[in-house]
Chains A and B, each alone.
Chain A
């Protein structure tokens, strides 16, 4: 019996009169790479914003490791084990790469401000651990040589990978990647695919939003397809590739098809 680390149950999201998500059910199993695909505007990023607590769903439930997180502030959900990256890179530009990662690592320890001011032993230990973890993750992601450069001065590809390292610093049960391959060339996409597999092999489950089909089909264990806020298909990559409904959603249905 595989464990469901993230479960989205009957989520409905309405913005005014617009229904962004309509009865969406999704889940991510332990140790798998799940993908979420769909045409532009299908509601993929809205799913991320719901599970991370940025929006509250109109109805439905989100479970992280079996525990409901609906209504919790985003920082609490993050600490429960959801790390995310962003479609348009959102690093802390004026902080170094190591500080970016350490900021996320910090949130898992309980050191307080007074402790930091006084330099109590626990604060010193937490401080050391956060920096060590940051350097360890930068090494894992292949950015250790850039640890002390400003995030805003890093090359584009490194910025994307730094976002992943920062999200991993939360020790997430599920890592949410929002179009990590956007703007990458074919070689970089192959490397990214290997990195995502490496992340999975390290024990993190991954939920991936991506438009690059060759990447998605190659690395995903399971794919869900959204169209106009509804899940229209779910299955293994080959099942999705052969699904007429998915092909219709992407290519449109000819008027005289009947």
Chain B
């Protein structure tokens, strides 16, 4: 058993060693290659990676890149700050409904609606967070679980926003930079979401390496001590909720603009659990691990479609096995330590 623990897998350390000594040109080339590969994914058309039954292009958009975006958002809350949020789907739903309603009832297009979608999701984060974040652990998790359900149930029971039937004929995005967004072709939506995901990653990494990142980690490690060291824990927990919410709202608005019709049943607890699974499976607190988790958990069930109904059993088994082998996730959060001689 011990042979299977994380320490025996040191590809990551090898990469870290290389990264530490890599020249800026090498680092840049590596980044361009990885990002380029992701942009090229819809063009590859390789039978090995293609998914049976569902078109690979639509799998790339949902669940793959959508899960990734949401997992990165949820990771700020769960992985960075250590707050268990079981109702993340609520922010996704708020973003989706914001786009659906505003695009139908106003003259605004997706690009103009995105700030509203993110804004409303952030506001929801504040409304949920202010009372809930005074609690901790299990109690807080139950409140977030309730919040996710409340948003869905309100949507079902409010006829003005379509009730259980939801909203249909949602306008798609208008063309931008000469790129057309059509119902038939999910690829532009994939490229759009990938671009936004890169921006979100950039922002989250910036925050992680600075004062807010330290405050979040301190809260995760020991909330009382963080407070004794002058960290306003309520403020930073609230910020984690707001940023997580904004990313969820962003994802929701793009999702609604692609599938063109939404129903409350798209936003169930299952989706919250799924995104949380991406975060935990990939490696809580490590943005690359979380994305890897989202890509795999989005892709594997689609790849296993040939097993039809049994695929969920295999998927579940795979998760159980993986979590036993790597309980801290595929790429656990780990800082590279630097040792130096004692100076005297």
Does the CB pair B225–A95 fall under 8 Å?
no
Set of chain B residues within 8 Å of A87, measured between Cβ atoms: none
Contact count A vs B, C-beta below 8 Å: 111
Give Cα distance in the complex from A107 to B218, angstroms: 12
Tally of A interface residues using CB under 8 Å: 44
Set of chain B residues within 8 Å of A116, measured between Cβ atoms: 206-207, 210-212
Does the CB pair A111–B217 fall under 8 Å?
no
Q: Quick one: CB contact mask for A125-147 with B, threshold 8 Å, 1 for yes?
A: 01100100000000000001100
Does the CB pair A92–B221 fall under 8 Å?
yes
From B229, B231, B236, B342, A145 is in contact (CB under 8 Å) with B342
Which among B210, B231, B333, B343 has the highest number of chain A CB atoms within 10 Å?
A: B210
Set of chain A residues within 8 Å of B229, measured between Cβ atoms: 75, 78, 83, 103-104, 107, 166-167, 169-170
Stretch at the interface among A19-27, A148-156, A202-210, A242-250: A148-156
From A91, A96, A127, A153, B211 is in contact (CB under 8 Å) with A127
Asked if A257 is an interface residue, CB under 8 A from chain B, the answer is no
Minimum CB–CB distance for B19 against chain A, Å: 15
Does the CB pair A130–B232 fall under 8 Å?
no
Asked if B341 is an interface residue, CB under 8 A from chain A, the answer is yes
Does the CB pair B239–A113 fall under 8 Å?
yes
From B210, B215, B227, B335, A73 is in contact (CB under 8 Å) with B227
Set of chain A residues within 8 Å of B224, measured between Cβ atoms: 54, 74, 90
Give Cα distance in the complex from A109 to B215, angstroms: 13
- Chain B, Cβ-Cβ closest to A78: B230
Asked if B305 is an interface residue, CB under 8 A from chain A, the answer is no
Does the CB pair B215–A95 fall under 8 Å?
no
Does the CB pair A78–B217 fall under 8 Å?
no
Minimum CB–CB distance for B13 against chain A, Å: 15
7 A-B residue pairs with Cβ-Cβ distance under 8 Å, sorted by A, are: A92-B217, A103-B218, A106-B211, A106-B214, A109-B211, A116-B207, A123-B210
A54-B228, A79-B230 known; 8 other A-B pairs, CB under 8 Å? A75-B227, A75-B232, A84-B228, A96-B335, A103-B218, A106-B214, A116-B212, A148-B340
